[in-house]
Amino acid sequence: MEINRDEYINVKDALNRIGGSMDLYKRLLEQFSGGDHIPPLEEALNNGDMEDASRLIHALKGVSANLSLIKLSVLAGDLEHKIKENLDCSDTLSELKNAYDVTIQQIPEIL
């Protein structure tokens, strides 16, 4: 399956947001890709710790939006809403994990 990177990462938008520095953007992407974002979120959800899950997904939504990680940011927002409304999160979490994996796989092409 061919993946359209523009659905996942909008480099132009990110560069506009951070003043055009590709070096800075690359450093930020490296930091993001070296993080451990999904397992703590899954653990909080599995343990029923909605306060921690809400905090974690909000942070992921913010950083992904700031880095213009488009699909990840949108799905994080969807999951955050479902957590706050105490709705079933399983499908959205699955989509988020997939988008996260695809996004992480796309980052080396930018670096």
- pTM of the model as a whole: 0.89
Q: What is the pLDDT along the chain (111 residues), one digit of tens a residue?
A: 455 667 899 999 999 999 999 999 999 999 999 888 999 999 999 999 999 999 999 999 999 999 999 999 999 999 999 999 999 999 999 999 999 999 999 999 888
d(CA 66, CA 17): 7
Residues 6+ apart with CB under 8 A from 6: 70
Q: Among residues 70, 76, 68, which one has the least CA distance to residue 96?
A: 76
What is the extent of the structural domain holding 49? 5-110
- How many folded domains does the chain comprise? 1
CATH assignment of the domain containing 62: 1.20.120
